[in-house]
Chain A
Amino acid sequence: MAGIVTNPRSGKSQPGRPHLTESKAVRFTLIGIALLFLGLIVILPMVSVIVESFRKGWEAYVSALSDPDAMAALRLTLITAGIAVPLNTIFGVAAAWAITKFKFRGKNLLITLIDLPFAVSPVVSGLIYVLLFGAQGFLGPWLDAHNINIIFATPGIVLATMFVTFPFVARELIPLMEAQGVHDEEAAVSLGARGWRVFFKVTLPNIKWGLLYGMILCNARAMGEFGAVSVVSGHIRGETNTLPLHIEIVYNEYQFSAAFAVASMLMLLAIITLVAKSVLESRMSKEHHE
């Protein structure tokens, strides 16, 4: 995912010049292998989630989703994503701006540190906040004395989610803005434009697809994060359970199809946004070119 450059010219297909593309047979074979792989690894699990979720019929599906605990979990998930995604977006834009428009020492280190949450085990992502804010943690006694709850309450869940989704927007924008260079912005500045104006009028139109894509991914991950949130949630029913945690609970109550029903909803939401973005983008870029 790092290094996505959404190039509007990309939709072009290669005309069938000899030796510039593969023979039909090779092409079909390659497409076939690629789709088979994707089918076994990604699509089959997805299908199984949907099949399992409807095993007990449409009514059970609806009732699984309208359960009060599920609604409470959905609300918490939306609040969490609603805080984490905008904050990480602001950070992503700021970091990408600093990194791509300027030269400074330690840039590689900064980029690596931004990437780090990708590679940190979800178990650890939750644990670090417990070590910091937990009752036995470094700030715990102080927080306790002031009656501030972070762990096992919404702030802890938001923090863990922010950590896990931290790199998505920045990682999306850095290569994109890198490729675009600084000429447009410099020209705008020399024409007298300032600060925010340069950003909104010059930079933003150039990066809007990348930004949107980063936000979609960030949001999808924020709504789906399980491991890290599980560590800081406390699992209080109807209070500190997010949707993925609710899924686990329902699954553990032997209501397998209800669990998969909630999961399928989460998954369908993600797929719809991802495919919609993909389709919209190709349509826009075509218009742009014709």
Chain B
Amino acid sequence: MKTFKNLQWALIAALILTVLSACGSKNNDQPSSPAASKSGKVPDPIELLNVSYDPTRELYEEFNKSFADYWKQKTGGTVTIKQSHGGSGKQARAVIDGLHADVVTLALGYDIDAIAEKGLIKTDWQKSFEQNSTPYTSTIVFLVRKGNPKGIKDWGDLIKEGTQVITPNPKTSGGARWNYLAAWGYATKTLGYDEPQTLDFLKKLFKNVPVLDTGARGSTTTFVEKGIGDVLLAWENEAYLALKEYGDDYEIVTPSISILAEPPVAVVDKNVDKKGTRAAAEEYLKYLYSEQGQEIAAKNFYRPRLQSVADKYKDQFGQLNLLSIDKDFGGWKEAQAKHFADGGTFDQIYTPGS
């Protein structure tokens, strides 16, 4: 009986060990990429992980293919790029918690700052690449239903009674923070830099918001699929994409003032140094600034930085007055603390009695 019992224990111990070792071994062997067998020549294909935010799926799908070709031409080596998409803050958190991203391409600098704060990226990352490490920009525009039945022309029309506005929650969505700041900027300028009045404007605007989805894509779905709301505040590229997917049911309205949304990129220093992928990761981000990279960005409705490409796609993007996060809002740190932290202006909108 005694030995039998010992045997049982041994069995269970063996079982647990097997499972653990099975789990362990899974991490150790590098997933062999299908591209490796094709090239044959390079024994060690480079694999990069680009951790990005939601609306860039289509952009990077195209860009990754182009970069793989370019890398092959340049070095003869094979590079495969894995993609991960999600809300910008959630993605930044995943990298902080140990997701082995080589590069991050997020919705706002604040999220990359958060990663830098933990020592994974050097603190002056924004100087690593041209244009504040922002290879493409975007802005916030309005998507309205065909024929613009509510006659929405500018931010001022959004606070009219009976107009339903769809935007995601600034607390959980990076894009929604740009929306919020754009509205704030408009109100500040038109109401003569009077803060209580500006807050009042935002209050009226959010009174017209029936649903606060957690992410930008969720809001687009609510507006487009569920048919809720009269106007969607969206990334310019999201709005154009919705137009492309749903054809003639919608129109884009460009407001008089909006914000220059700068979705920045960075190499995750700690991860690339550990994996030895720095050269490829840096080249990957630099390629975003190249003519081909800029062309792909423009095709996916991001505003290119390169003048030649910008001129080529000039007619695609509406002309408007763009506010800057650094000049008009004192940078992300200040904007975050003032508007989106607990007790900030966004919370005040929803606090009863204030």
Query: A-side interface residues toward B, CB under 8 Å?
Result: 83, 87, 90, 130, 133-137, 140, 144, 147-155, 158, 194-195, 234-239, 249, 251-254, 256
Q: How many A-B residue pairs have CB under 8 A?
A: 82
Q: Does B127 count as interface, using CB distance less than 8 angstroms? A: no
Q: Does B57 count as interface, using CB distance less than 8 angstroms? A: yes
Q: How far is the CB of B247 from chain A (nearest CB, A)?
A: 12
Main secondary structure of the interface of B (DSSP, over half): helix
Binding-face segment, B93-101, B137-145, B251-259, B305-313: B93-101
Contact B85 A144 (CB under 8 A): no
Partner of B85, one of A136, A149, A158, A235: A235
- A135 with B85: in contact, given A148-B24, A195-B4, A256-B225 (CB under 8 Å)? no
Main secondary structure of the interface of A (DSSP, over half): loop
Contact B23 A237 (CB under 8 A): no
Encoded as 1 (CB less than 8 Å from any A CB) or 0, chain B from 222 to 255 comes to 0001000000000000000110010000000000
Contact B97 A239 (CB under 8 A): no
- A154 with B26: in contact, given A195-B4, A236-B83 (CB under 8 Å)? yes
Q: Which residues of A contact B8 (CB under 8 A)?
A: 195
Query: B-side interface residues toward A, CB under 8 Å?
Result: 1, 4, 8, 15, 19, 22-24, 26-28, 31, 49, 54, 57, 82-86, 94, 96-100, 118, 217, 221, 225, 241-242, 245
Q: What are the 6 tightest A-B residue pairs by CB atom distance, in nearest-first order?
A: A135-B98, A134-B97, A155-B23, A149-B27, A252-B217, A234-B99
Instruction: Report the separation of the CA atoms of residues A238 and B35 in the bound assembly, to the nearest whole angstrom.
Output: 14
- A235 with B24: in contact, given A87-B19, A130-B97 (CB under 8 Å)? no
Instruction: Report the separation of the CA atoms of residues A251 and B49 in the bound assembly, to the nearest whole angstrom.
Output: 22
Contact A151 B97 (CB under 8 A): yes
Q: How far is the CB of B277 from chain A (nearest CB, A)?
A: 15
Q: Which residues of A contact B22 (CB under 8 A)?
A: 83
Partner of B27, one of A133, A153, A256: A153
Contact A135 B97 (CB under 8 A): yes
Partner of A151, one of B4, B98, B225: B98
Q: Would you give 25 A-B contacts (Cβ < 8 Å), ordered by A?
A: A87-B19, A130-B97, A133-B98, A134-B96, A136-B118, A147-B27, A149-B98, A149-B100, A152-B94, A153-B26, A154-B27, A155-B24, A155-B26, A195-B1, A195-B8, A235-B85, A235-B94, A236-B83, A236-B99, A237-B82, A249-B85, A252-B57, A252-B217, A254-B241, A256-B225
